[in-house]
Amino acid sequence: MYHRFLQTLERVTETFIFQSRWLLAPFYAGLALSLVVLLVKFVQEFIHIVAIAWSGTEAQVILGVLALVDLTLTGSLLVIVIFSGYENFVSKMDHSGHRDWPEWMGTIDFTGLKLKLLSSIVAISGVHLLKQFMSLKSISDRELFWYVVIHMVFVGSSVLLALSDRIAGHGGNGNAPASQPSTGGPEVASHDKH
């Protein structure tokens, strides 16, 4: 009797913990909505660039374009986090009916997600650093020094993460092999769409 109670308690606890992953879904929905905010800023910046295209200096136009690149990279980073995070931690998406579904979606494991995140952060940091170099007259040497240091910390972190991943044996492209079975077994697959 006591053993049966413990088994029931264990099953209920495991089911509760497993279903708690759905609490992450609103986080990913919020990130998806934040893409709209980025789009608004992108449109504002684009209108600003168009307005100064004839009267602005080359440096002003380049800084405006770099701001657009920065916003685009940030949006791309959000898309990677939304799709990969949702598929890794909440539920698999059925993309069999989508002809234009990107290959990487649904195949990035957690290690690959971390590497892609750090790569995107390094790229965004590089754009910010380039923007600072474009406006050297308005920034102090100390501020520029810290921009370079922060960028190098991001670069170093991504290199160390890639090396630790390779040493751990994950190596390669960060994509999970297509033939690898789900780690959760058939029970996980049956719960995923509920």
Phi, psi of 108 (to 5 degrees): -85, 120
User: Cα–Cα distance between 109 and 88 in angstroms, integer?
Assistant: 7
Q: What's this model's pTM, rounded to 2 decimal places?
A: 0.63
Whether 85 has a pLDDT exceeding 50, the answer reads yes
| Domain membership flag for residue 124 | yes
Interval 42-63: pLDDT, tens:
999 999 999 988 888 877 888 8
List the one residue out of 128, 121, 76 whose CA is nearest residue 102: 76
- 171: three-class secondary structure by DSSP: coil
Contact 66, 142 (CB under 8 A): no
| Domain membership flag for residue 133 | yes
Which is more confidently placed, 64 or 180? 64
Q: What is the DSSP string of 28-47?
A: HHHHHHHHHHHHHHHHHHHH
Strand-pairing partners, residue 108, are 175
* pLDDT confidence band for 148 (50 / 70 / 90): confident
Q: Which domain holds residue 134?
A: 24-177
Q: How far does CA 31 lie from the centroid of its chain? A: 10
| Domain membership flag for residue 109 | yes
- What is the pLDDT, as a whole number, of residue 45? 92
- 102: three-class secondary structure by DSSP: coil
Distances from the Cα of 14 to the Cα of 8, 25, 94, angstroms: 10, 19, 25
List the one residue out of 58, 113, 119, 121 whose CA is nearest residue 86: 113
Q: Where are the alpha helices (DSSP H) in 53-140?
A: 58-89, 110-134
| Domain membership flag for residue 187 | no
* pLDDT confidence band for 82 (50 / 70 / 90): confident
* pLDDT confidence band for 187 (50 / 70 / 90): very low
- What is the pLDDT, as a whole number, of residue 39? 96
For the chain, what percent of residues have pLDDT higher than 70? 79
What sign for the dihedral angle of Cα 139, 145, 146, 147?
Answer: positive
Which is more confidently placed, 19 or 184? 19
| Domain membership flag for residue 185 | no
User: Cα–Cα distance between 70 and 68 in angstroms, integer?
Assistant: 5
- What is the pLDDT, as a whole number, of residue 42? 95
Mean pLDDT confidence for 75-80? 86
| Domain membership flag for residue 15 | no
Number of domains in the chain: 1
User: Cα–Cα distance between 49 and 63 in angstroms, integer?
Assistant: 9
User: Cα–Cα distance between 67 and 11 in angstroms, integer?
Assistant: 52
| Domain membership flag for residue 51 | yes
| Domain membership flag for residue 143 | yes
